[in-house]
Amino acid sequence: MDSLQRQFPQFPFSIIADEWIRFFKGKSLPEQLRDRRIARVLIAPLLFSSGGIGIAEDGNFFILLNDMNLPGENAESLGHEIAHTFHHDLTQNPPKNFLPSDAAELIEDFCRVFSEIWLRENEGERLRRIVGGLKNNSREKSPAIFYFKRKNSGS
Ligand SMILES: [Zn+2]
């Protein structure tokens, strides 16, 4: 399988992400999300973004997906946002972001590639069905931290 470590050697957490995908492939989605401290996935009306991740008051992540997007697009966004948890120290509460500030653009490439590999290794169709079954279930208040992925920017 493709290796994030080979494509993103400048990110020490690439190897952790590779191992994580390998270890969790085929496991249930909730199990995978729980392991990354993602407590909630919300389908919400987002105007300018296909997804986002934030940290809630309880110190766990939540992910927002755009209710205008197709299940396939939201499955890709979900993988993308899961990837963002890998530049956080999950042993801290709340998880601490250790991404160098000059890596803000490169991390978006990392997340895109992570999502491709993650979907492939998890039979993307299965995940698209699960994500397609999620309902628009909230109008969450904005939390403190967001990593927004712009729509159609390929990032
Ligand atoms: Zn992103």
Number of domains the chain contains: 1
CA of 106 to the centre of ligand 1 (A): 10
For residue 101, is it within any domain? Answer: yes
For residue 4, is it within any domain? Answer: no
| C-alpha to C-alpha distance for 47 and 82, rounded to whole angstroms | 21
Per-residue pLDDT at 139: 52
Q: Which residues surround ligand 1, an ion (CB under 5 A)?
A: 108, 111, 147, 149
CA of 81 to the centre of ligand 1 (A): 6
Sign of the dihedral defined by the CA atoms of residues 22, 23, 25, 29, in that order = negative
For residue 27, is it within any domain? Answer: yes
The predicted model scores a pTM of: 0.86
Instruction: Provide the residue range defining the domain that includes 20.
Output: 9-149
Question: Nearest-CA neighbor of 121 among 32, 9, 12, 14?
Answer: 32
Instruction: Say what percent of the chain tops pLDDT 70.
Output: 86
Segment 76-100, tens digit of pLDDT = 999 999 999 999 999 999 999 999 9
CA of 112 to the centre of ligand 1 (A): 8
For residue 145, is it within any domain? Answer: yes
